[in-house]
A and B are shown apart, each in its own frame.
Chain A
Amino acid sequence: DVVLTQTPPTLSATIGQSVSISCRSSQSLLHSNGNTYLNWLLQRPGQPPQLLIYLVSRLESGVPNRFSGSGSGTDFTLKISGVEAEDLGVYYCVQSTHAPWTFGGGTKLELK
């Protein structure tokens, strides 16, 4: 199975600070069809996860553009350019290139 390693596990930030989360895969997530099925999710307390970024860098409709994704192959990054209070929660990367689909261990974003 593909292992997704997220760092850091916890991130403390002030409002307005820019932060980055890393997701490293145990194998390339480039599919034979040319797509890379790496997505980013945010789970707020008591809520189901919600999609932020799909296909590495595409912003889901309705998601603020302070969120951005980048990377290729095995290394991926989610950046938040100016944290807002509503961004607090746990961030997960998830891959659906190689079955079984797998999730990263999560990064908890909290206020400093």
Chain B
Amino acid sequence: QVQLQQSGAELVKPGTSVKLSCKASGYTFTSNHMNWIKQTTGQGLEWIGIINPGSGGTSYNVKFKGKATLTVDKSSSTAFMQLSSLTPEDSAVYYCAVATWDYWGQGVMVTVSS
């Protein structure tokens, strides 16, 4: 069955970067684009961007340009999102989800704190 397995929770310091992973299984990785979504109590669900695993092509929400960088490793069927220059406002749960919204990772909590 289709699964998106995300990496574990992160506690990181302000000003640093973190790279989150989302390993896909149960389907052809390059057949479906991958979304990344941010969830906070205050802002709800926000779409960060999308990547085409086949070509590596990306599209970002302007709000997250410069903050998030999406990449893939086709050999391991894994999508990555790097978040840079972290501030407490980046503390959230981050999800990967296929473009058709029918499969989601379990989410990863990122906490930015000194």
Query: Interface of A with B (CB < 8 Å)?
Result: 39, 41, 48-51, 54, 60, 92, 94, 96, 99-103, 105-106
CB distance from B55 to the nearest CB of A (A): 17
CB pair B106 A54 closer than 8 Å? no
CB distance from B2 to the nearest CB of A (A): 11
Interface residues on B, range: 20 to 34
- Complex formed: what's the CA distance from A79 to B41 in Å? 25
Could you name 22 residue pairs across A and B whose Cβ atoms are closer than 8 Å? A48-B104, A48-B105, A48-B106, A48-B107, A49-B97, A49-B104, A51-B101, A51-B102, A54-B100, A54-B102, A92-B44, A92-B45, A94-B45, A96-B101, A100-B47, A100-B63, A101-B35, A101-B50, A102-B47, A103-B45, A106-B44, A106-B45
Query: Given the known A-B contacts A48-B106, A48-B107, A100-B62, are A41 and B101 also in contact in the complex, defined by CB atoms under 8 Å?
Result: yes
- Complex formed: what's the CA distance from A105 to B35 in Å? 19
Query: Interface of B with A (CB < 8 Å)?
Result: 35, 44-47, 50, 59, 61-63, 95, 97, 99-102, 104-107
Q: Within 8 Å CB of A94, what residues of B?
A: 45, 101
Q: Which of A54, A99, A106 contacts B101 (CB 8 A)?
A: A54
A-B contact count (CB 8 A): 44
Q: Which of A50, A51, A54, A103 contacts B44 (CB 8 A)?
A: A103
